[in-house]
């Protein structure tokens, strides 16, 4: 710590309330660094306070760079005083380069524009921070940003990540923690004060970091630990360099075992020996590890251990062995066809397992799950136990909460707990979603095989079939259908596939289960508290759009798809802006899906908003940063003057609510076209090609949808 003062007024730190007192001089710092305890120190990170407030900071770096054991040094800065910060960072970089010592800088950046300024308590700090980052990058100085997440910016971190990806800058995201050296115990309003929805949002965000941004294995390990602490209530799952190989030196020459919770071990200058100060207090460090480490969410990183790598290898090897589709198919082929059930109304199953795409659910999946569970509970003899298999249990727990589904158990897919649930179930249901070309079909086939071994009921409840591109996955789907006692599929084309390709004559068509949820939700009084805040008094155009996924490219080559995708993005912006102008209505871009895998619609919505603004900067366009639940989606549709739908279940919702809507069919005459054809609403369809080439104009702008 170069100093204990700061010119910022951060929400998560009260160092700025400190008055300058004693600071170790350059000579004293050199004396301390020459202590035998530090004879092998390889990296020194210079922090504060705000280190660039020290006029002799370059001399501090001169001492660091001259130490023979040091191979890298770093600095973190708030970048408030732009000129002074640049001078100090360039000086430190030059000194380190001259001594052949690596150097890097981290700039604090907690959001875009006023969000950052609010967290840091300084107007204009965002502009100076960006100016410094750009200057350092142009100069070839390795530069990252550090984002600290508090109550104020929790719903804005995705925008910052968008910015980082677009700008090509690297950043780290940490949760604000109570840290004694920051004097921040009174700041509980801002620190680790998240409600259930905010923790869920952060779970989604850290999953996005893991799936689509962070590549460094040890940072990923920390992020997995942070997510587990936030959404699963787990203790810290990663180590910390302060357990064995790092220490804090304060600006007064005092030693701390770690930053957050360490007692002050005393001044090296006064005690005369860093080693004596360090080693005579190891009992305190042991107690510190016992009392504080499991609950510490601060972003300290350690490399993956050999044990970590072995554990990861064995876990994946076991999944491949137990759930490998080729092996499961070999087992399945030996089992005779399931005996068809004519009805499920009189089933008396006491222990029902629901498998499918849960743990990544869209709004439509949530609506389906609501219906499936209501149907089970309306049986003459309802089940005693309902279990859902989930890829990411925290996702499904949120679904259970927001859909008011009560006592439902959740097990993580591909685990021994899931296998136990398969063995205990007397009914296994694939609940909703598409039976398509994805490896995740493996746990469904595994569950059906377990069910058949114990003579349990197997059902496929209102799924669709496809898209399927290979013979292998066609066989997997056919086996699921063949092993099912009761098959209900959500469209005529899927039923025909089951009859013709799987030879399953007992497959029957059924309404999408989400329809029952919509019929319930639209009842008077059901949605009284769920409407999203209106941005204007004019009823909006509510849009439920998604990125165009490559697996629906049709017969286009990947190169042709990439070119068409660009045209689609531009065409969609023109389409939405034209309708907004015609109806003189604001635009809501609302998410039917908020999980990174499968496309977070909020990410797409923010990009689309920027494109719409390029067409007409005056148009009001709203994209929620937070998660939106099915009740809010229904309420928004009911208050909109027009719905523009692309996600399949947004089409289902709008149609069943009898709202004016247009439907963009990205499925190549697939499930969206099939659904609307069955409803006699094919005139509401707009093809991808029409969006790409603009041919929608003559048909759409000529009239309002009615």
What is the pLDDT, as a whole number, of residue 462?
Answer: 85
Asked whether the bond before 507 is cis by omega within 30 degrees of 0, the reply is no
Sign of the Cα pseudo-torsion (578, 582, 586, 592, in order) = negative
**Which residues are paired to 489 by β-bridges?**
463, 509
- What pLDDT is recorded for position 529? 65
Q: Which residue has the tokens 């799936």?
A: 211
Closest CA to 590 of 510, 657, 533, 549: 533
How many angstroms from the chain centroid is the CA of residue 607?
Answer: 17
428-447 mean pLDDT: 92
Residue 257 near residue 300 (C-beta atoms within 8 A):
no
Q: Tell me the average pLDDT across 668-694.
A: 91
In sequence order, which residues have a C-beta less than 8 Å from that of residue 252 and are 6 or more positions away? 4, 21, 22, 23, 24, 267
Provide the pLDDT confidence category of residue 535 given band limits of 50, 70 and 90: low
Helix extents (H) in 232-305: 268-271, 274-279, 282-292
Rounded Cα distance between 84 and 78, Å, is: 11
**pLDDT score of 373 more than 90:** yes
Nearest to 279 by CA among 266, 295, 297: 266
Q: Please write the tens of the pLDDT for every residue from 619-655.
A: 999 999 999 999 999 999 999 999 999 999 999 999 9
Q: Specify the residue for token string 């068509």.
A: 509
At residue 551, the pLDDT reads: 83
Between CA 556 and CA 554 the distance in angstroms is 6
| pLDDT score of 668 | 83
Peptide bond into 451 cis (omega under 30): no
Q: How far apart are CA 357 and CA 317, in angstroms?
A: 22
Which DSSP helix (H) or strand (E) runs through 623? none
Pairing of strands 427-431, 457-465: parallel
Domains, in order of start, for the chain: 15-304 (3.20.20.70), 323-519 (3.40.50.11720), 533-700 (3.40.50)
**Percent of the chain topping pLDDT 70:** 98
pLDDT score of 706? 43
**DSSP letters for 209-237:** HHHHT---HHHHHHHHHHHHHHHS-PPP-
Which tokens sit at 455?
């003579």
Q: Is residue 552's pLDDT more than 90?
A: no
**Burial (Cβ within 10 Å: 0-12, 13-18, ≥19) of residue 61:** buried
d(CA 468, CA 435): 8
Most confident of 138-147, 235-244, 460-469, 514-523: 138-147
Predicted local confidence at residue 305, as pLDDT: 87
Q: Of 367-376, 433-442, 500-509, 533-542, which gets the smallest average pLDDT? A: 533-542
What DSSP string runs through 92-131? HHHHHHHTT-EEEEEEE--SSTHHHHHHHT-TTHHHHHHH
| pLDDT value, residue 432 | 77
Sign of CA dihedral 251, 255, 260, 261: negative
> In this model, does residue 378 exceed pLDDT 70?
yes
- At 703 the pLDDT is 63
Q: The pTM is what?
A: 0.95
Whole-number Å distance between alpha carbons of 363 and 612: 25
Strand order in the sheet with 143-149: 43-46, 72-77, 102-108, 143-149, 170-175
The conformational region for residue 388 under phi > 0 = left, psi -120 to 50 = alpha, else beta, is: beta
Is the per-residue pLDDT at 705 higher than 50?
A: no
CA separation for the pair 21, 695 (Å, rounded): 72
What are 63-112's pLDDT values in tens digits?
A: 999 999 999 999 999 999 999 999 999 999 999 999 999 999 999 999 99
Which long-range contacts link 16-22 to residues 24+ away (Cβ below 8 Å)?
A: 16/121, 17/183, 18/49, 18/183, 21/252, 22/252
pLDDT in tens, 304-352: 888 889 988 999 999 999 999 999 999 999 999 999 998 887 899 999 9
- Percent of the chain past pLDDT 90, that is, above it, reads 87
Place of tokens 């770690």: 258
pLDDT per residue as tens digits for the range 31-75: 999 999 999 999 999 999 999 999 999 999 999 999 999 999 999
Average pLDDT over residues 140-161: 98
How many Å apart are CA 510 and CA 675, to the nearest integer?
11
Distance of CA 351 to the CA centre of its chain: 32
Structure tokens at 687: 């093809």
pLDDT tens readout for residues 267-302:
999 888 999 999 999 999 999 999 999 999 999 999
User: Among 18-22, 25-29, 654-658, which stretch is predicted with the lowest mean pLDDT?
Assistant: 18-22
Q: Is the pLDDT of residue 526 over 90?
A: no
In whole angstroms, give the CA distance from residue 85 to residue 615. 39
| Average pLDDT, rounded, for the chain | 94
**pLDDT tens, 553-589?**
888 999 999 999 999 999 999 999 999 999 999 999 9
In this prediction, residues 208-226 reach a mean pLDDT of: 96
Taking residues 355-364, what's their average pLDDT?
A: 94
């Amino acid at each position: 710590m170069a100093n204990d003062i700061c010119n910022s007024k951060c929400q998560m730190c009260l160092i700025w309330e400190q008055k300058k007192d004693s600071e170790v001089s350059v000579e004293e710092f050199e004396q301390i660094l020459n202590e035998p305890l530090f004879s092998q120190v390889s990296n020194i990170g210079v922090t504060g306070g705000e280190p660039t407030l020290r006029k002799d900071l370059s001399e501090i770096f001169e001492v660091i760079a001259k130490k023979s054991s040091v191979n890298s040094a770093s600095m973190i800065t708030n970048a408030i005083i732009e000129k002074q910060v640049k001078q100090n960072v360039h000086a430190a970089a030059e000194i380190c380069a001259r001594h052949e010592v690596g150097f890097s800088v981290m700039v604090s950046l907690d959001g875009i524009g006023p969000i950052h300024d609010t967290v840091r308590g300084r107007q204009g700090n965002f502009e100076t921070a960006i100016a410094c980052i750009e200057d350092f990058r142009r100069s070839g100085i390795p530069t990252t940003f550090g984002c600290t997440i508090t109550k104020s910016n929790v719903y804005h971190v995705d925008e910052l990540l968008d910015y980082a990806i677009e700008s090509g800058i690297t950043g780290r995201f940490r949760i604000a923690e109570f840290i004694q050296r920051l004097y921040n115990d009174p700041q509980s309003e801002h620190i680790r004060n998240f409600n259930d929805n905010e923790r869920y949002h952060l779970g989604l965000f850290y999953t996005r970091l893991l799936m689509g941004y962070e590549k460094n294995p040890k940072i990923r390990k920390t992020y997995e630990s942070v997510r587990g602490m936030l959404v699963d209530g787990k203790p810290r799952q990663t180590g910390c360099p302060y357990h064995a190989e790092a220490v804090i030196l304060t600006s007064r020459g005092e030693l701390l075992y770690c930053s957050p919770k360490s007692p002050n071990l005393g001044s090296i200058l006064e005690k005369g020996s860093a080693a004596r100060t360090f080693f005579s207090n190891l009992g305190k460090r042991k107690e510190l590890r016992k009392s504080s480490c499991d609950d510490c969410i601060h972003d300290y990183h350690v490399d993956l251990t050999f044990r970590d790598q072995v554990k990861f290898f064995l876990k994946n090897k076991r999944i491949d062995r137990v759930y490998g589709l080729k092996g499961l198919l070999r087992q399945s082929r030996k089992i005779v066809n399931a005996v068809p059930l004519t009805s499920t109304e009189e089933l008396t199953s006491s222990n029902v397992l629901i498998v499918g795409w849960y743990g990544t659910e869209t709004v439509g999946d949530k609506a389906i799950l609501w219906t499936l569970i209501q149907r089970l509970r309306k049986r003459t003899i309802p089940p005693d136990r309902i279990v859902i298999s989930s890829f990411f249990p925290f996702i499904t727990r949120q679904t259970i909460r927001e859909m008011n589904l009560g006592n439902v158990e959740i097990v993580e897919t591909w685990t021994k707990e899931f296998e136990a649930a398969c063995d205990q179930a007397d009914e296994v249901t694939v609940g909703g979603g598409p039976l398509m070309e994805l490896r995740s079909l493996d746990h469904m086939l595994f569950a059906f095989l377990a069910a058949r071994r114990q003579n349990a009921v197997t059902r496929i409840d209102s799924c669709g079939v496809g898209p399927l591109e290979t013979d292998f996955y066609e066989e997997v789907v056919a086996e699921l259908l063949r092993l099912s006692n009761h098959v209900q599929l959500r469209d005529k084309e899927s039923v025909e596939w089951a009859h013709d390709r799987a030879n399953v004559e007992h497959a029957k068509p059924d309404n999408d289960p989400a329809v029952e949820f919509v019929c319930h939700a639209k009842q008077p009084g059901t949605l009284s508290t769920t409407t999203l805040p209106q941005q204007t008094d004019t009823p909006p155009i509510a849009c439920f759009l998604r990125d165009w996924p490559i697996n629906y490219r049709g017969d286009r080559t990947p190169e042709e798809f990439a070119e068409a995708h660009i045209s689609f993005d531009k065409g969609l912006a023109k389409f939405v802006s034209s309708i907004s102008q015609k109806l003189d209505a604001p635009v809501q871009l609302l998410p039917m899906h908020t999980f990174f895998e499968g496309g977070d619609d909020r990410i797409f919505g923010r990009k689309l908003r920027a494109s719409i603004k390029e067409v007409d900067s005056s148009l009001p366009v709203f994209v929620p940063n937070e998660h939106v639940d099915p009740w809010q989606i229904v309420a928004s549709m009911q208050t909109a003057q027009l719905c523009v739908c692309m996600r399949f279940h947004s089409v289902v919702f709008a149609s069943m609510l009898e709202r004016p809507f247009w439907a963009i069919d990205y499925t190549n005459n697939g499930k969206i076209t099939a659904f609307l054809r069955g409803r006699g609403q094919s005139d509401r369809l707009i093809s991808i090609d029409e969006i790409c080439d603009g041919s929608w104009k003559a048909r759409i702008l000529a009239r309002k949808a009615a």
